[in-house]
Amino acid sequence: MIAFIILSVLFLSTTIYFSYRAYVLAGVLADQEEYYETVSQTNEYMYMRISQSHDAMTQIDRLGAFEKDDEAGTTFAMLKQVINELKEEFDAQEEEKK
C-alpha cells in the first residue's frame, strides 16, 4: 500500500513537472515565432526601402549629369555603388526564396 502511494506521488509530481515544462516551452516557442515575424517584416521593409532608393538614385542621375571629378559626383557615385550592391544582394535573396 505504501509503495502504491509513493508511486502515485512520484507519477503525479512527474506529470506536473512535465506539464509545467510543456507550458514554458510553448511560451518560448510563441516568443520565437513573434521574433521571426518581426525579422521578416524588417527584411521586407528594408528591401522596399533599398529598391526605392535605387530607383530614386537612378532617376536623379538619369542623364549622367554628376561628374566623378568633383566631390559631389564622387559622393554620389559611392552612394549609388552601395545601393546597387545592397539591391543586388537583396534581389539574390528574393530569387533564392522563390
Please give the C-alpha separations between residue 75 and each of 16, 62, 69, 70, 82, in angstroms, as whole numbers: 65, 16, 10, 9, 11
The residue whose grid cell reads 506521488 is: 9
Taking only the tens place, the pLDDT of each residue in 7-43 is 999 999 999 999 999 999 998 888 888 888 888 888 8
Mean pLDDT of the chain: 82
Please give the C-alpha separations between residue 35 and each of 9, 31, 68, in angstroms, as whole numbers: 39, 6, 43
Higher-pLDDT residue of 48, 75: 48
Q: Is the pLDDT of residue 61 over 70?
A: yes
Backbone phi and psi for residue 55, each to the nearest 5 degrees, phi listed first: -65, -40
pTM of the full structure = 0.53
Q: How confident is the model at residue 91 (pLDDT cuts 50, 70, 90)?
A: confident
